[in-house]
Structure 1
């Protein structure tokens, strides 16, 4: 009788592992890979482009960890990044356009926003466009 309970326990544990493994594998595959660009609206300067990878953090972004943290805090919603403007920038009007294309946790991303200048872009987007 004790042996039967032991075997049933092992079978139940093995079934739980098999059921949970696909969900865990799918979550691990939800990597985020983005191409970020900052371009002068008047095209007077060459655009700057970096790659950003989150989960694990990497890419050519100079502060990838902070950029990933900002996006995670915003739930991957680039529109929410503008709510975090905390820096002090000059009133210089030199518009730049920030774009992001790729995937965030497996979801497609296509984002474009105009900022008053590079400082505002870097400050408002919580390190995402700070490059």
Structure 2
């Protein structure tokens, strides 16, 4: 059995190749080819002048982060501008900047609030990045009243 090519398809293909060759030859004549070296690839650069500050803050029922049940969680971004699901991101970022991102310093406020001794543990946590450095922090309180008392008038964990 001998293969006989479809002459109509072969003629169409040959015509197309001829047209393409003619078109590219015209372009090559119109624009001389130069052998300039390719520009060196530039190293990747960051698009921002700010170190990232993106955090997830949680309030949970339980004694420690791995076993606690999260009741509330918000996101907080402080750089380049304050935003996130936190109800007051500007004041929360201002407060964090004042303590240099030291979450433990937020809980050192003296309190005059009287709380019961009821054991209903609450754990608060912060995880993410603060000014370009990974952060993971948590604190456990005997109950919600103790947590609120330790924060004073702070806004970081007021959500």
TM-score norm. by structure 2 comes to 0.57
How many residues were matched structurally? 107
Gap runs ≥5 in structure 2: 1-44
* Deviation >4 Å, runs of 4+: 42-46
Looking at structure 2, the residues matched to 59 and 124 of structure 1 have their Cα atoms a distance apart, in angstroms, of 24
Gap runs ≥5 in structure 1: 1-21
Rg bigger for which structure? 2
After superposition, the CA RMSD in angstroms is 2.7
Partner of 1:65: 90
Partner of 1:103: 129
- Structure number with the higher helix fraction is 1
Looking at structure 1, the residues matched to 68 and 103 of structure 2 have their Cα atoms a distance apart, in angstroms, of 26
1:57-80, CA deviations, whole angstroms, 9 ceiling, x for partnerless residues?
010011212211221111101111
Cα distance change of structure 1 residues 120 and 71 upon mapping to structure 2, 3 Å threshold: farther
TM-score norm. by structure 1 comes to 0.67
3-state SS of paired residue (1:84): coil
Q: How does 1:1-131 map to 2 (within 5 A)?
A: 28-41=49-62, 46-55=70-79, 56-86=81-111, 88=113, 90-91=115-116, 93=118, 94-125=120-151, 126-131=154-159
Is 117-126 or 77-86 further displaced after alignment? 117-126
Q: Which has the bigger relative contact order, CA under 8 A and spacing at least 6?
A: 1
Partner of 1:14: none
